[in-house]
């Protein structure tokens, strides 16, 4: 059960795992940074947010290194992180902004004209992440008291059936998910986490908040070619924890159907789509996976709610279904079978 006390203990542990480590936290081929470098940027972002609490802070940023520090600073300063993707159409981002009440935006490159005009019209604070990194002095986080019912972040649904809808996620809700993940998956120290999907897709919560707690490193995919077929990225960056929808693995299977794919991956976290048996068989036979997990859940209910550790026996046991089961509910989830 998540309490106010356990939420605060989570953040104390999370912060101490960052500010006391010299390990690598970000790896993109030859571009690498340490936890201490990230913590320095976190303190600068914290300085830029001084005096703000319980506000919605829009972060319009790519997967450059400072973005990760900004995400953590927004949450740790007791504000609400609202991710906005530069890869989304401008019209969609405006639809999202019109559902927020944010009067502050942090950006890492350049704000498109309509989005810049939106924030100027609201007389909002418009902060360049690059300027924060280069100009602000570090300021330690206050001893914030977190309430489990306060909103940590807002994710917007895909909008495939109409207007995207904002889902406010409390500290209590997402921390329960992270605690479950840490208890279920066999993480070691210094894992390298694939960072395949956009920050506006809630699978990002999985790696964002587990990686520092196991002293791991983020390895984002920033090249469009690697997004289509990520084999080079997987191998060169020595990815050990992979998270994606199954269709990404299916693309690898289509590209190299009979090859043995040699990677350092130890844990495979799959979700968001039915896990078909031809993909699961490929994970076992061609990618030599021992730890393949099928997760199922909704943005509205805290990332994932069910999990199943897949085995080769699944391929015969559930042959009539052709897909892996979604499994058992994660602790803390109440399930009604209809």
Residue 257's pLDDT band (cuts 50, 70, 90): very high
**pLDDT tens per residue across span 123-148:** 999 999 999 999 999 999 988 789 99
d(CA 60, CA 213): 25
Q: Reply yes or no on whether the pLDDT at 118 is more than 70.
A: yes
Q: Reply yes or no on whether the pLDDT at 155 is more than 70.
A: yes
The predicted structure's pLDDT at residue 159: 58
- Write the Ramachandran bin of 162: left for phi over 0, alpha for psi from -120 to 50, otherwise beta: left
The predicted structure's pLDDT at residue 161: 62
**pLDDT tens per residue across span 201-242:** 999 999 999 999 999 999 999 998 998 999 999 999 999 999
Residue corresponding to tokens 């909103």: 151
In this prediction the pTM is 0.96
Average model confidence (pLDDT) across the chain: 94
Output b/e per residue, 62-98; b: 16+ Cβ within 10 A: bbbbbbbbbbbbbbbbbbbbbbbbbebeeebbbebbe
- Which range has highest mean pLDDT (163-167, 311-315, 333-337)? 311-315
List C-alpha distances in Å: 14 to 68, 208, 215. Answer: 14, 11, 10
């Amino acid at each position: 059960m998540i309490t106010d006390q356990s939420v605060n203990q989570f953040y104390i542990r999370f912060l101490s795992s960052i500010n006391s480590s010299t390990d690598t936290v970000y790896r993109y081929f030859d571009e690498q940074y340490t936890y201490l470098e990230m913590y320095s940027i976190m303190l600068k972002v914290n300085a830029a947010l001084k005096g703000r609490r319980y506000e919605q802070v829009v972060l319009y940023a790519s997967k450059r290194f400072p973005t990760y520090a900004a995400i953590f600073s927004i949450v740790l300063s007791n504000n609400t992180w609202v991710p906005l993707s530069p890869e989304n159409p401008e019209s969609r981002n405006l639809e999202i902004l019109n559902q927020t009440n944010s009067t502050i935006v942090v950006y890492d490159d350049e704000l498109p004209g309509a989005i810049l005009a939106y924030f100027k019209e609201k007389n909002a604070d418009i902060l360049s992440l690059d300027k924060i990194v280069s100009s602000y002095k570090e300021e330690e986080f206050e001893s914030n008291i977190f309430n489990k019912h306060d909103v940590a972040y807002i994710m917007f649904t895909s909008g495939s059936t109409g207007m995207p809808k904002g889902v406010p996620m409390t500290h209590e809700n997402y921390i329960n998910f992270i605690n479950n993940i840490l208890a279920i998956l066999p993480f070691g120290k210094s894992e390298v986490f694939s960072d395949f999907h956009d920050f506006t897709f809630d699978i990002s919560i999985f790696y964002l908040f587990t990686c520092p707690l196991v002293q791991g490193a983020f390895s984002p995919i920033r090249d469009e070619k690697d997004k289509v077929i990520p084999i080079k990225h997987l191998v060169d960056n020595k990815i050990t924890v992979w998270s994606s929808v199954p269709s990404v693995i299916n693309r690898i299977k289509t590209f190299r159907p009979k090859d043995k794919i040699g990677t350092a991956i130890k844990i495979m976290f799959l979700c968001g789509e039915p896990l078909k048996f031809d993909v699961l068989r490929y994970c076992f036979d061609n990618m030599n996976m021992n730890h393949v997990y099928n997760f199922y859940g909704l943005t509205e209910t805290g990332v994932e709610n069910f999990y199943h550790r897949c085995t080769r026996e699944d391929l015969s046991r559930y042959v009539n279904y052709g897909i892996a089961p979604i499994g058992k509910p994660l602790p803390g989830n109440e399930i009604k079978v209809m």
